[in-house]
Structure 1
């Protein structure tokens, strides 16, 4: 049995293509792996604060010297990090906002990319500690960006996930969603076909 952690990051709760892709992916995954445990964290519902002085203080200040705000920030960061540590499979749903990932997803990453927990510094440079995990990234894009210089999603997420030791990453793009109905259906169909292969 595997633990699957799903991270939703679309600001739209209705009519979201990335949420539609996530629902389809989870349904296919559960059909193929009925014993697996699915955990969903929705960043539009339970928003994660941006990196701030309270979180930095929670990480760096001795426990007996932390303020109440620092303790609260650290508690949330620990919860988010523990979810990632417990997961065997990570599923990130990432609509493209202004050529990149939503700021909510960036905030989540800022909480879970933690020195000494998900990566460590060595004399040979940083080393990821989350080896052996798989990740799937489901994107929804208004235009067609895969492989172009305007795609700041895939390179960034590959680097961020690789930094913590997750190198087995599959990207599933639904592209051309704002280029007309034909392009939209083609983009969604292509993404669903790719999902059927990997799930």
Structure 2
């Protein structure tokens, strides 16, 4: 089933297009693949990036929209990604980057397209664990910027995932939040015997 990719805000897309059109921005990017690319580059597949800052004991975990990520395609594959961020003046280009999350995101999206349920792809970052997941939100009518984690949603950890969490294995929200709660809860201090 095709994924229902929400449209990115027009200013976010324009900021990425302007950065791609700027030889200075591309040359100064820390992405050797992007600097060496031949032919046209295009920003595709905009995904809203949400941040999970904490997991609540009740299992409801608020997220906040942190930006939009565009896969930068050159030829047949994604070479890099471009992040945008919300500033007081609106959406602005943040940076280009490459690394393992590019291929991992593409792989997870290919698997998601083969799933029988319609969903809206998003990215969910868990900064405390240096973890990124593909968030498959079931409400395809949301605009991408809104919508909390819902029980029917799936989270697919991207590689590299933290130790003990399998990459590319879909998890129901409650299942993965339980694992994250254990990881994010500080261990009690042990007292030495008196």
Q: TM-score range by the shorter chain?
A: under 0.3
More strand by share: 2
More helix by share: 1
TM-score, L = length of structure 2: 0.25
